[in-house]
Amino acid sequence: GDWSSDVCSSILSQEAYVAAGGNCCPACGSVDIVGHCVEVATASAKQEVMCGECPAVWVDNYSLTGFDILEGK
């Protein structure tokens, strides 16, 4: 299979979950996950995520890494 399906086939560590792009359940490896609203705070954000295959619920944590100029100087 592809790299992400190989990584997502088992319980994930924090590092493996991030390396997989957060695209699967860290408890069972399922890709049947649903993310809820993203809550943004100063320089960070979080999102509650649920698995459709097992009872796992977790929070994805995001941090500000930079910006892209869209318009202006």
Confidence of residue 73 (pLDDT cuts 50, 70, 90): low
Q: Are 70 and 42 in contact (CB under 8 A)?
A: no
Confidence of residue 46 (pLDDT cuts 50, 70, 90): very high
Extract the tokens encoding 32.
């049947």
pTM reported for the whole predicted model: 0.77
Give the three-class secondary structure for 66: coil
Q: Where are the beta strands (DSSP E) in 1-73?
A: 33-41, 44-51, 57-63
Give the three-class secondary structure for 3: helix
Q: Are 49 and 58 in contact (CB under 8 A)?
A: yes
